[in-house]
Amino acid sequence: MSYENAWLAYQKKPPTADAAYFSSLYVEGDHRVIATAREELLRAAREMFGKDMILCENREEATISFIWDRMAKTGEEGYHVREDNGKITITSEGPKGILYGCFACIRWVKMEKPFAGMDLLEKPSNPIRILNHWDNMDGSIERGYSGKSFFFRDEKVLVNERTRAYARMIASVGINASVINNVNVKGNATRLIDPVYQEELVQMAEIFADYGIRLYFSLNFAAPMELGGLSTADPQDEQVQSWWQEKMKDVFRRIPNLGGFLVKADSEGRPGPFTYGRTHADGANMLARAVEPYGGIIIWRCFVYNCQQDWRDKKTDRARSGYDNFMPLDGTFLDNVILQIKNGPMDFQVREPVSPLLGGLTKTNQMLEVQIAQEYTGQQRHVCYLIPMFREVLEHRTYCSNEQDTVADIISGRTFHQTNCGMAAVANTGDDENWTGHDLAAANLYGFGRLSFDTDLSSEAIAKEWIACTFGTDPEVMEKIEAILMMSWPAYEKYTSPLGIGWMVNPGFHYGPNVDGYEYDRWGTYHRADHLGIGVDRTSHGTGYAQQYREPLSSQYESLEKCPEELLLFFHHVSYTYRLKTGKTLIQHIYDTHFEGAEDVEKMAELWDSLEGKIPEKSFERVQNRFAHQMDHSKEWRDQINSYFYRKSFLEDEKHRTIY
C-alpha cells in the first residue's frame, strides 16, 4: 500500500534568503549514519529549494558542514548547530548527533525560522527512546487502528521501501530503537530468533542501522520449550540457561544491529518465571546474562497482575500489583535489565495516577511506557493529543530524593545515575497511507519522539512544530489545529469515564461506552457504582494502594479533601451528593462535564471545517469524516454515562437537559 511522508513531506518553498545556505555541503567523518544525514540534506534541498547541493572537499567553501568531532561535548547523540557568517555547522561527538542535527535544520526550514544567528545545542534527555509495535506475524496488529502491519504479512517478514520510510520518519524525531513484534509472542513470532527469518531481519536491521535505530524483538519466555524441545523454561535450570546462551550467541552473530529484547512474562496468560516458583529477577537476569557478552539489553515489563479476579473480592486490587510484585526485587536486577513501567498502575486509561513503582524503585533501571496507540482514548477515530498527558507524568514528583525526583529525572538516569533507561511508546502506526489512521494522530507519534528526546519541550511547542512540518505555517492553520489538539484530551476525558475511574468501555475491543462492561468480569477493573455513590476505596480502609506512594503523596491520596479531584474516584468511594471544590455535587459534575465534552467535539469539528481549502484535500476529508463520527460517538458516550448515573441515583440534572 502506498504511503505519505507525514511531517517529512517537503513542499517547494518560495525563494527565501535561507535557500542560500543549501548550496554546498562539506562532510567530515565517514560513517553510514553520516552518509544518511548527507542524503537527507541533499533530498531536502532538492525538494524544498529545487537545488542540487555541491559536495565540497574543504570546509571553507561549504555553506553547510557536518563535523564529527569526538571532542564536541555534545554526547554521541547530541548536536550543536551554529550559523556564522552565512554558513551553518552541525557538530557532534557521534554520527547520530549529526543526523539529528540535520533533521533539526530541516525542521527549522519547515518552521520558517531564520538561520541567521542560530545557535542550538541539544542533548537527548533519555538514552533509550523506543517504539513498541504490537504487530503479529499474520499482519494483524494488537490494538492497531491504522491498517495492517508493515513489518509482517502472512507469517513473513516484510522489508521494502516502507521500511526505509518508517526508519527515516522515526529517526527524524530522535527515536533510536524499535521493537517490531507484539509482546504477546505466539506462533511464528517465537521463531524470530531462529535462522528462518534471518535474511529479511538482517536487511531490516541494516536499514535501521543507517538511521541509528537499534532493532529489538519481543521474546517468548517459553522458547526453550517451544523451539528447543526442553521440558521446562525454568530460569534456574542449567539446560535452559545454556539453551538461551547458545541462542543469543547465534542471534547476535547473525543480526549485528540487535539491541536486545522486550519481555512480557506472567501476564495475561504469557509464560514466565512464576510457573517454576521463581522471581522476575531470576527470569530477567538469566536472559540478561545470555545477552550481556553482546552488549544486549533485556527490557522487562512490569505489567503483571491477577487477571482472574472475583468482583466480590474488594481487597485484591489490580492497581497494587506492579508495586507488590516488583518492589521487593529492587536492587536485584542486573545492570543490563531495564524494568518497563506503564505510566499508570492500571492500563493506559484517559486518567490514572502515576505508577508508584516510578520512584518507588531506587536501585533498578527504569523505563516509562506510554501508549500512543489510542486503545482507550478513541482508537484513532477520535482526536486525542496525548502529549499533555505524558508531560504531566514526566513532571510528576515522586519524592524519591531531595532533588531531581520527577519521573523525567528518573527515566533520564539523572536521579540514580543510570544509563540503561528511557521512554517507550506502544506505537500507533500501520500500513494506512497516512501511517496513523487519523491524520491528527500523527502528532502523537511525532510528539512522542520529540518529547522523549527533550522532556522539557512543552505540548504546545511540539504541536506547533508538528503542524508547521505537516501543514505549513499559515497562521490560521497553525492556530486552529493547535487549539484542536490542546482541547482534545480534556474533551475526551470529559465525555468518557469521570474523575479517574477509567474503563466503562465495551469488553474485548475497548471501544465505545459500556458502564458495566467490565464491572463483574475477572480483569479487576471495577468502578463500584451503586445507588448512593461511585469509586474505589484505595485508602488504608480499602485496598491500601494509596500507601504505596512516598509522602506527602500517600497522605494526599489517602485524604478525601486533599486528593487531586481529577483522581477522586480512583482513590475514594464518594456519594453522588458529595460537593467538589467547584461547589457542584459529584452527580452534577458528571452531567456537566459530559455535556461539555460533547460540545467541545462540535467546536473542534467546526474549527477543522473552517480550514477547508487550506489543508490538502485528502487529509482534510479524512479528518472531517473522523470528526463526523466523533461527534456522534461522543454524544453516545455522554448519553450512556449520564443515563446510567441518573437511573442509579435518581438525582435530577439541575439544568434539566435530556437524560434518558
Residues 6+ apart with CB under 8 A from 30: none
Q: Which amino acid is it at 557? A: Y
Q: How far is the CB of 342 from ligand GCV (least distance, A)?
A: 7
Alpha helices in 375-474 (DSSP H): 387-395, 407-412, 442-453, 459-471
- Cβ closer to ligand GCV: 326 or 576? 326
- Cβ closer to ligand GCV: 134 or 549? 134
**Lookup: cell for 260:** 536486545
Q: Is position 305 an interface residue for ligand GCV (rule: CB under 6 A)?
A: no
Instruction: Using CB atoms within 10 Å of the CB of residue 198, give its burial: 0 to 12 exposed, 13 to 18 middle, 19+ buried.
Output: middle
- Cβ closer to ligand GCV: 355 or 554? 355
- Cβ closer to ligand GCV: 267 or 554? 267
Provide the annotated active-site residues: 268, 347, 375
CA dist 555 and 563 (Å) reads 9
- Cβ closer to ligand GCV: 136 or 415? 136
Of residues 285-304, which lie at the interface with ligand GCV (CB under 6 A)? 303
CA dist 158 and 1 (Å) reads 12
> Site for ligand GCV (CB under 6 A): how many residues?
9
Q: How far is the CB of 313 from ligand GCV (least distance, A)?
A: 20
Dihedral of the CA atoms 186, 192, 193, 199 (nearest 10)? 170
Instruction: Using CB atoms within 10 Å of the CB of residue 651, give its burial: 0 to 12 exposed, 13 to 18 middle, 19+ buried.
Output: middle
Of residues 399-458, which lie at the interface with ligand GCV (CB under 6 A)? none
- Pick the binder of ligand GCV from 99, 183, 393, 574 (CB under 6 A): 183
Residues 6+ apart with CB under 8 A from 7: 110, 169, 172, 442, 446, 466, 469, 470
Q: Is position 134 an interface residue for ligand GCV (rule: CB under 6 A)?
A: yes
Q: Which amino acid is it at 486? A: M
**Lookup: cell for 379:** 482508537
Of residues 230-269, which lie at the interface with ligand GCV (CB under 6 A)? 264, 268
* DSSP letter string, 168-232: HHHHTTT--EEE-S-SS--GGGGGGGSGGGHHHHHHHHHHHHHTT-EEEEEE-TTHHHHTT--S-
CA dist 22 and 62 (Å) reads 9
Of residues 74-133, which lie at the interface with ligand GCV (CB under 6 A)? none
Q: How far is the CB of 106 from ligand GCV (least distance, A)?
A: 34
- Cβ closer to ligand GCV: 231 or 506? 506
Q: Is position 347 an interface residue for ligand GCV (rule: CB under 6 A)?
A: yes
Q: Is position 221 an interface residue for ligand GCV (rule: CB under 6 A)?
A: no
CA angle 333, 256, 210 (to 5 degrees): 110
Q: Is position 194 an interface residue for ligand GCV (rule: CB under 6 A)?
A: no
Q: How far is the CB of 524 from ligand GCV (least distance, A)?
A: 11
Q: How far is the CB of 142 from ligand GCV (least distance, A)?
A: 5
Q: How far is the CB of 242 from ligand GCV (least distance, A)?
A: 29
- Cβ closer to ligand GCV: 247 or 270? 270
- Pick the binder of ligand GCV from 80, 87, 110, 143 (CB under 6 A): 143
DSSP letter (8 states) at residue 115: -
Residue with cell 521463531: 191
Q: How far is the CB of 143 from ligand GCV (least distance, A)?
A: 5
What is the separation of C-alpha 293 from the centre of its chain, rounded to a whole number of angstroms?
29
Q: How far is the CB of 205 from ligand GCV (least distance, A)?
A: 23
Of residues 515-554, which lie at the interface with ligand GCV (CB under 6 A)? none
Q: Which of 576, 578, 558, 504 is nearest to 351 (CA)?
A: 504
Q: Are 172 and 166 in contact (CB under 8 A)?
A: no
CA dist 584 and 178 (Å) reads 47
Q: Are 357 and 322 in contact (CB under 8 A)?
A: yes
Residues 6+ apart with CB under 8 A from 639: 659, 660
Q: How far is the CB of 134 from ligand GCV (least distance, A)?
A: 5
Residue with cell 465525555: 495
Q: How far is the CB of 521 from ligand GCV (least distance, A)?
A: 13
Q: Are 300 and 285 in contact (CB under 8 A)?
A: no
- Cβ closer to ligand GCV: 184 or 203? 184
Q: Is position 142 an interface residue for ligand GCV (rule: CB under 6 A)?
A: yes
Q: Is position 184 an interface residue for ligand GCV (rule: CB under 6 A)?
A: yes
CA dist 337 and 281 (Å) reads 9
Q: How far is the CB of 518 from ligand GCV (least distance, A)?
A: 11
- Cβ closer to ligand GCV: 97 or 524? 524
Binding mask 592-631 for ligand GCV (x = CB under 6 A): ----------------------------------------
CA dist 476 and 482 (Å) reads 10
List phi, psi (to 5°) of 276. -105, 15
- Cβ closer to ligand GCV: 471 or 526? 526
Q: Which of 356, 347, 348 is nearest to 325 (CA)?
A: 356
CA torsion through residues 169, 173, 176, 182, sign: negative
Q: Are 353 and 360 in contact (CB under 8 A)?
A: no
Q: Which residues bind ligand GCV (CB under 6 A)?
A: 134, 142-143, 183-184, 264, 268, 303, 347
